[in-house]
């Protein structure tokens, strides 16, 4: 049981971006990936979710033993993978409540109907935890949301879908300190022995709230170092350059 990434190589038409990336996230673990801009962190998250811009040229990814790369995007989601985007998409014309409801409905066996009363109860409970106004249920997904509201909304989706493996791509960027605390509490509430997290961030600050078990440094498409939470503090103090040389 794990999200197992082995020697993954992925490219866009003229360039290789992931150059032998390997990592195993087991249920119950929180891994943090830090690294300079352009090192391929967002590319990794998008490749795992099946973004069509990227071609996987070699390596493998399995989710609890199943070949993730062979699955369509929706199958990856239903298998238990979730990505909180660095830059969440706006979906005009689709209300937030209907969007999440459709995603949950799509997880049910054919012919089974999601219980609407139970759904809204859970939605409101999660929104309260994230200190989101009820008005966000009727608004189109992310349309006109501030940067921080979009990030909160990504975590709302995470809390509603209850994925086995969650990737958070710079969820902290665009959040002020109060919002960061609320969002981190939301993520921490979802931590359990059954769930794994991959938290991508530039800054140690997020890791004060979402405490990782293991910290990795990504440079130029692969991991160059791994360590305990203290590695994040070292990076904050010394920057990535020294780490790279070390």
The rounded distance, in Å, linking the Cα atoms of 196 and 164 is 6
Q: Which of 3, 8, 9, 43 binds ligand ADP (CB under 6 A)?
A: 43
User: Which distant-in-sequence residues (6+ apart) come within 8 Å of 144 by Cβ?
Assistant: 90
Rama region for 217: left / alpha / beta (φ>0; ψ in -120 to 50; rest): beta
Residue 37 binds: one of ligand ADP, Mg ion, none (C-beta under 5 to 8 A by kind): ligand ADP
Four-CA torsion 122, 123, 126, 131, nearest 10 degrees: -140
Spatial distance between the Cα atoms of 187 and 97, rounded to a whole number of angstroms: 20
Closer CB to Mg ion, residue 42 or residue 153? 42
Binding positions for Mg ion, rule: CB under 5 A:
41-42, 86
Tell me which of ligand ADP, Mg ion, none is bound by residue 166, counting a contact when its beta carbon lies within the kind-specific cut-off of 5 to 8 angstroms. Answer: none
Query: Residue 74 has which token pair?
Result: 């929706």
Q: What mask, x for binding ligand ADP by CB under 6 A, covers residues 1 to 30?
A: -----------x----x-------------
User: Which of Mg ion, ligand ADP, none has residue 43 at its interface (CB below 5 to 8 Å by kind)?
Assistant: ligand ADP
- What DSSP character marks residue 133? -
Residue 82 CB, nearest approach to ligand ADP (Å): 18
Question: Of the listed pieces 23-31, 39-47, 105-113, 171-179, which binds ligand ADP according to CB under 6 A?
Answer: 39-47
Phi, psi (deg, nearest 5) at residue 193? -60, -15
Binding site for ligand ADP (CB under 6 A): 12, 17, 35, 37-43, 53
């Amino acid at each position: 049981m794990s999200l197992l990434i082995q020697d993954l190589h992925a490219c866009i038409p003229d360039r290789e971006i992931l150059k032998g990336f390997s990592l195993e996230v087991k249920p119950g673990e929180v891994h943090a990936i830090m690294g300079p801009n352009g090192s391929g962190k967002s590319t990794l998250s998008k490749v795992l979710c099946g973004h069509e811009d990227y071609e996987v040229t070699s390596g493998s990814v399995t989710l609890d033993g199943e070949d993730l790369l062979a699955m369509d995007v929706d199958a990856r989601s239903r298998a238990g993978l979730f990505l909180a985007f660095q830059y969440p998409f706006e979906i005009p014309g689709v209300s937030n409540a209907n969007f999440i409801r459709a995603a949950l409905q799509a997880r049910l066996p054919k012919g089974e109907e999601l219980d609407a009363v139970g759904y809204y109860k859970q939605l409101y409970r999660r929104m309260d935890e994230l200190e989101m106004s009820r008005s966000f249920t009727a608004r189109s997904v992310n349309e006109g949301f501030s940067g921080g509201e979009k990030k909160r909304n990504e975590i709302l989706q995470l809390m509603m879908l209850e994925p086995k493996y969650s990737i958070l791509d710079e969820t902290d960027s665009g959040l002020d300190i109060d919002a960061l605390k609320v969002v981190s509490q939301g993520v921490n509430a979802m931590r359990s022995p059954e769930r794994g997290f991959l938290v991508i961030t530039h800054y140690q600050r997020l890791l004060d709230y979402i405490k990782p078990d293991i910290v990795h440094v990504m440079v130029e498409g692969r991991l160059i170092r791994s360590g305990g939470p203290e590695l994040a503090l070292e990076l904050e103090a010394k920057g990535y350059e020294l780490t790279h040389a070390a």
